[in-house]
Structure 1
Amino acid sequence: MEPRYINRELSWLDFNARVLQEASNKEVPILERLRFIGIFSNNLDEFFQVRYATVKRIADTKPTSKNSKDHIAAKNLLDQITSKVINLQSKSSLILESIEKSLKNENIVFINENEVLESQKEFLKDYFIRKISPSLVTVILSNNKLHDFKDNKAFLITNIKLIDDNNIYALVEIPRDISRFVVLPKKGDKQYIMLIDDIIRYHLDIIFSFFNYSDIEANMLKITRDAEFDIDDIDLSKSYIKKIQEYVNKRKISNPVRLVYDKNISGSTLSYLIKKIKISSYDSLIPGGKYHHRSDYMNFPDLGRSDLLYPKEKALDINSLKIESNLLDQISEKDFLMYTPYHSFSYLVSILRQSAIDPSVKSIKITLYRLSKKSNVISSLINAAKNGKKVLVQIELQARFDEENNIKVSQQLKAAGVDLIFGVKGLKVHSKICLIERFKGYKKRFYGFVSTGNFNESTAKIYSDFTLFTSNQKILKEVHKVFDFLKANYKIHDYKHLIVSPHQTSKKLFELIDNEISNAKKGLKANIIFKLNSFTSYKFVDKLYEASNSGVKIKLLVRGICCLIPGKIGLSENIEVKSVVDKYLEHSRVYVFENGGKTKVYISSADLMTRNIEKRVEVACPIYQDNLKQQILKTLYISDNDNVKTRLINHTSQNEFVNNSNKTIRSQLDTYTYFKNNILN
């Protein structure tokens, strides 16, 4: 029997293969290719910390009559994942070698500890002593002592062969507070780069000068630990922050799920490590190259070579929304749409800045998930609180890998007098909403915004997200209801306009899909477009199969995981799945329904994943203003017709580029041009 679904973990690895395609693409500027290697590696780290760790837990459970099938399936899946990852890692190493050769042609040369020139020795020794040595943590390993191999760190494991024929093993932790890439003084036209790993290798004689040794071997390894914690029965009280911090600390010493090691490491050293780290048979042992922690390539220096990078486009103004004037007054006249990174994120910050000093603004309520390390959003909210505004912030402390930053921010907000909400028991708050209460005379009026992405200045430069700025009272009164639910979780509201998880998303989206099915059966035009990050909910996959079999035409634009199989006769022949991977990360979620010619368009914080639908507070917002609806539909049309960066996914040939003789469309460049022309017109 042919499968109805693609496994989500394997689908995720297929997505990361698309990222690797960008790294291998010689049409992509060289330094950008290097950064795609970094993105690929960073993605893989998070995959092992979360998804692989979850499957491993199932494989590690003791098999019983009830769970034996799950246990066997999990073990088989771990084997498939490991095999696929080893293949991808091998490809990434070859791609990196190719990139380094191309860089050499541009007079950018990587050197290792065996290629140091005489003229570079003094610089390297000085750099090691002044910059690297003070940050080094070197641990002599003992057979009898338990050692802390911290989470997701890169180490050099050194095998020190003493004169008396004994061996000593030591760990040298690669410092994280220093740039991994050291730019050496130029020699002629050549720019030399050296990784600090190799600078450490070059100076092992200084580190271990007090040992009487005959030889030292140094190989890199990286350990990834389980980062997925189930925080049940949390006490939503003053101890909540402390409890989250405890879980973050536990993550650093949790069970290992992956060991990536230098394939040239000696057998005796590898055996010693496996025993020391307590790697089980279900953990993933990945042989790699000399260097690990390639996520650092995301921050590779520009070297002043703009010719080797994507051209930087200036973020655009929003058509007819004057940032220097009173923004709330302009929004009171009509709605506006911001589509970052094409539009400047400054509009959102300016709305908060202006509201902080506007005498007629009485309160600001906002949900926060992931924040920039230096956040103007936070400074604006603190500014508002200092001016006597009532500021209420729902901050999600369980935003994975951002917990510590969010704890720090919550403490800053509390000190400024901001009222804080720390979530809903059993749910993550992932919605992106803001509500501003303003009075003109005695009349209260709401203003606000609803977004598909985080209120984060840093990611807004590279993540594509829609934000609706609105004074539509029907929408904003329902946003007020969402905040009411966040404060008093027992109050379950009805919504006529918004689609809100966890209470209504399945029901309302199913009703909208059923309407398309009904129209198709009547012979009317019936279409659905979903633009998503991920699509893993089997019940929604089945619903779209039903719609396809009823004649509904369905287009899915999915950046990441997709469990649906398109184009199968009798199951999904009316469904097409495409994925765009390019210079920006496609992050917006959009739902479109033909609705008998009266098209309905929603922007949403929610992907079609079980967690988003049932275990998170999410908000999808309708776009009522026709010109904004047309803007969103135009961007979807551009994406759907991309024939440069679009891949067909889950077809016979996975990740095959769309290649046709139509006019060349690269959706991200054409979207920028569309909005640029929109301003001019």
Structure 2
Amino acid sequence: MQPFIQAKSKYMNRDLSWIEFNRRVLEEAQDATTPLLERIKFLSIVSTNLDEFMSVRVAGLTDQLRAGYTKTDFTGYTPEGLLRRIMKRTGKMVQEQYRTFRELTRALAKEGLIFTECEDLTPTQKKLMDTYFHDYVFPVLTPMAVDQSRPFPLVHSLNLYLAVTLLREGDAPDEEPYFAIIQVPSNLPRTIKIPSRAGSAKMEFVLLEDLIKTHIGTMFAGYTPISVDSFRLTRNADLTLDEEGAEDLLEEIEKELKRRRWGSPVRLEVQRGFHPYALDTLKEEFETGDNIFIIEGPVDLSFLMKLSSSLPGYEQLRYPKLEPVYPLEFDEADDYFEVLRRKDVLVYHPYESFDAVTDFIDQAAGDKDVMAIKMTLYRVSGNSAIIGALARAAEAGKQVTVIVELKARFDEERNIAWARQLEKAGCHVVYGLVGLKTHAKIMLVVRQEQDGLRRYVHVGTGNYNDNTARLYTDIGLFTCNPVIGEDASVLFNEMTGYSAPHDWQAFGVAPNDMRSKLFQLMAREAENAAAGKPARIIAKMNSLSHQEMVDELYEASKAGVSIDLIIRGVCCLKPGVPELSESITVRSIVDRFLEHSRIFYFENGGDPEVWLSSADWMTRNLTRRIELMCPVHDPELKATIIQILRLSLTDNVKARILTPSGQYVRPAVEGEPLRSQFEAQIIRTWKRKSPSV
């Protein structure tokens, strides 16, 4: 793999760095030591990652080109030059992805899981599939002809379609063909399990689109299908909101979601061997230019995610089940408030159960002494216990305030539904501030106690979502520290009312304060290094793309600060460059769980400070979002977080090290292999240890 950065630039390009991240996800699908059904899951993730990248990032570059924008970004790329490189590299990645798919289908077949073509079915199987098609599939299909009297129908983004090229019976072969499209129903299973052959223990599947192709003639009486080809269109999915002029933000977002259906085309995926007439018709309609991907297999591999998780049995082809433990501090407690009055509590997901968060809210909802509950909601699961608890609290007469972020990309519709449900229950629902997304993860419970009102706070690195808490690594802190509680009250007042920027006692808050606070902490490390004191920065996050943050890290490195960055995805910083970043290392960990926690460590001359945050060091997080970073004061909890960082820094199985050339390489294994996510599963035994980094 060739280096992907400009030789003279001291920065990596954000979008090209993202492609390298998705390549690391693909490597997990290619890794023979990864269980087989987990490998096909990673292959699915590659597809869904690329879908979002195309519908947002590539769509934005396409818009810039159409607008005639030619300026270079801070990494030295023009929109045209960057788009050309993106399409070339993603094209190669898709080819590699489908080579991997073919390899994995062969491996699945050896395990008795077989993708079968309809023409290869036995007569008995064919008869059963004929019945299934006529009973369940045919009634929901709608062939849509395209001709002079019937204009091209709306093609939904990221939906699978069939392009049907036909000749009327009696027409000569050289006559201009007829053309129609059929949407493959997204509300039917993409993979159909076929009854086993007699005496066989193997499990066979056909794809829904192949079943439709086999029966395509039943929908075009009097015509002969000469080609039936799969295709999929990706449209621009980024919302363009006039928040200043919107009288009702909820209604404005609902309108924009409807307009998203007609977003400008960005990418066209077509199956290998697509009929030339059909392809010309699609190219003329969608005007995607060169953004066409020829697919060597089933179009859209996202269906593999559901297949891998829904198959009964085959546990030997999956990771061993992880049962989250209930946090020790709460395990036998009847009163969470009593526990928190004694000490702060840290919860590390998914190794510790997210039930601790929902149970805490549930207790607060039913506690007669709780006066108010306030929290932010960015992404919530489809059947959230949190929503029910908040509704019960409001119905019980408590003051419940919920800041629902309606602009959480691709979760807008779900959040609108939650907002309406909460309002019906009597909650005060606030949709955030104009021009800013509310991305902070915080909950405040105000309780009347014998010595007065006391504030209980939960801050987290991830969303209040019980589903993702089983799949992402995140950290939550429970505390009744009065300083943190006071800052939490002020933060909610700023988000819901009119309040001047606050002089925070504990928090760092974006967009007004966090960046400057981080700069101050970095500068302090540089001063300590110059004075011969211990100086170190460790930062764990998802992405680093803010130019000023990169520059500040460069300055700290030049001053002699040791800097270790654990960045799962995008990284615009070049580590290990002489006289620029010699003391900086960057590593990425892609493993069973999505590394999602944001942790910042500053040595502080031997008295370390540790912060938890909702924010990556990206421009959008630091300038266009309400974000939060919160200090961890308790020495035992600091030690736990330091242990988490230490595990990440010593991982030599799933870590990749970023080189100055832009390549990610596996570290040399010295001594015993160490896989940080597997070591973290023994959290009960090391949670109270006090290791050094």
SS in 1 for 2:672: coil
SS in 1 for 2:585: strand
Aligned to 2:178: 168
Match status 1:294 vs 2:301: yes
Match status 1:227 vs 2:233: no
Aligned to 2:544: 535
Distance 1:561 1:384, change over 3 A: same
Distance 1:203 1:3, change over 3 A: same
Give runs of aligned pairs for residues 74-113 of structure 1, distance below 5 A. Answer: 74-113=79-118
Relative to structure 2, which stretch is displaced further, 3-12 or 199-208?
199-208
Q: Which of residues 310, 333, 336 is equivalent to 2:342?
A: 333
- Provide Cα deviations, 1:292-335, integer angstroms capped at 9, x if missing partner: 12112111132321111111111012123226511122112110
C-alpha distance in 2 between matches for 1:513 and 1:56: 37
Match status 1:421 vs 2:430: yes
Runs of 5+ consecutive residues of structure 1 not aligned to the other structure: none
| Alpha-carbon shift at residue 525 of structure 1 (Å) | 1.3
The one-letter code of the counterpart of 2:179 is Y
Aligned to 1:526: 535
TM-score using structure 1 length? 0.96
Aligned to 2:192: 182
Relative to structure 2, which stretch is displaced further, 181-190 or 340-349?
181-190
Report % sequence identity.
Answer: 33
C-alpha distance in 2 between matches for 1:676 and 1:524: 33
C-alpha distance in 2 between matches for 1:557 and 1:438: 38
The one-letter code of the counterpart of 2:410 is F
Aligned to 2:395: 386
Relative to structure 2, which stretch is displaced further, 323-332 or 86-95?
323-332
Aligned to 1:516: 525
- Provide Cα deviations, 1:108-130, integer angstroms capped at 9, x if missing partner: 11012332221211221222222
Aligned to 2:277: 268
The one-letter code of the counterpart of 2:30 is S
The root-mean-square deviation of aligned C-alpha atoms, in Å, is 2.0
C-alpha distance in 1 between matches for 2:505 and 2:264: 46
| Alpha-carbon shift at residue 216 of structure 1 (Å) | 3.1
| Alpha-carbon shift at residue 255 of structure 1 (Å) | 0.2
Aligned to 2:210: 198
Aligned to 1:141: 146
Aligned to 2:59: 53
Q: Which of residues 443, 447, 454 is equivalent to 1:445?
A: 454
Count of matched residue pairs: 675
C-alpha distance in 1 between matches for 2:21 and 2:72: 30
The one-letter code of the counterpart of 2:103 is S
Runs of 5+ consecutive residues of structure 2 not aligned to the other structure: 1-6
C-alpha distance in 2 between matches for 1:117 and 1:12: 45
| Alpha-carbon shift at residue 660 of structure 1 (Å) | 1.6
C-alpha distance in 2 between matches for 1:135 and 1:355: 47
The 8 Å contact of residues 394 and 423 in structure 1, kept in 2 or not, is answered as yes
C-alpha distance in 2 between matches for 1:340 and 1:407: 27
C-alpha distance in 2 between matches for 1:189 and 1:505: 59
| Alpha-carbon shift at residue 63 of structure 1 (Å) | 5.6
| Alpha-carbon shift at residue 599 of structure 1 (Å) | 0.3
SS in 1 for 2:577: coil
The one-letter code of the counterpart of 1:148 is L
The 8 Å contact of residues 638 and 667 in structure 1, kept in 2 or not, is answered as yes
| Alpha-carbon shift at residue 58 of structure 1 (Å) | 1.0
- Provide Cα deviations, 1:266-313, integer angstroms capped at 9, x if missing partner: 22221111002232x3x6211112311211211113232111111111
Distance 1:651 1:186, change over 3 A: farther
| Alpha-carbon shift at residue 153 of structure 1 (Å) | 1.1
| Alpha-carbon shift at residue 442 of structure 1 (Å) | 6.5
Q: Which of residues 555, 558, 567 is equivalent to 1:546?
A: 555
The one-letter code of the counterpart of 1:33 is R
SS in 1 for 2:487: helix
The 8 Å contact of residues 385 and 391 in structure 1, kept in 2 or not, is answered as yes
| Alpha-carbon shift at residue 84 of structure 1 (Å) | 0.3
TM-score using structure 2 length? 0.94
| Alpha-carbon shift at residue 489 of structure 1 (Å) | 4.2
Aligned to 2:4: none
- Provide Cα deviations, 1:593-626, integer angstroms capped at 9, x if missing partner: 0000110000000000011001100010100001
The one-letter code of the counterpart of 1:54 is G
The 8 Å contact of residues 261 and 289 in structure 1, kept in 2 or not, is answered as no
The one-letter code of the counterpart of 1:378 is I
C-alpha distance in 2 between matches for 1:619 and 1:17: 31
Q: Which of residues 18, 21, 32 is equivalent to 1:15?
A: 21
Match status 1:652 vs 2:661: yes
C-alpha distance in 2 between matches for 1:70 and 1:19: 24
Q: Which of residues 408, 420, 437 is equivalent to 1:411?
A: 420
The one-letter code of the counterpart of 2:379 is R
| Alpha-carbon shift at residue 398 of structure 1 (Å) | 0.2
Aligned to 2:223: 212
| Alpha-carbon shift at residue 490 of structure 1 (Å) | 4.2
C-alpha distance in 2 between matches for 1:275 and 1:309: 45
C-alpha distance in 2 between matches for 1:131 and 1:307: 33
The 8 Å contact of residues 484 and 491 in structure 1, kept in 2 or not, is answered as no
The 8 Å contact of residues 535 and 607 in structure 1, kept in 2 or not, is answered as yes
